[in-house]
Amino acid sequence: MQLNLQANFHHAAQPSLRDYSAGDDFYQMLIDAHRDLNEADSAALNAKLILLLANHIGDIEVLKQALSLAGSSTQAI
């Protein structure tokens, strides 16, 4: 399986109104989750979220691709 770099945010059982609306919703949830956290708690939230999502993905090759892309400062997403 290849890492999906196309917009893939969606609400289950709800038609998409715009390509990015669910992505915007996630971004807002992420900002809200970090609101009022100190730096250590914010970093802990990020670490937990990464591990939960990595477990959900499960495919080590996809995770390897994501880490490689995320660690590269020269590649655009």
Decide if 45 contacts 34 (C-beta within 8 A). Answer: yes
pTM of the model as a whole: 0.76
Whether 60 is covered by a domain: the verdict is: yes
Q: What is the pLDDT of residues 57-70, one digit of tens each?
A: 999 999 999 999 99
CA distance 61 to 69: 12
Q: What is the pLDDT of residues 19-46, one digit of tens each?
A: 557 788 889 999 999 999 999 999 999 9
Radius of gyration of the chain (CA): 14
Whether 77 is covered by a domain: the verdict is: yes
Whether 29 is covered by a domain: the verdict is: no
Average pLDDT value over all residues in the chain: 87
Give the sign of the dihedral formed by CA 14, CA 31, CA 19, CA 9. negative
Domain extent, residue 47, equals 38-77
Please tell me the total count of domains within the chain. 1
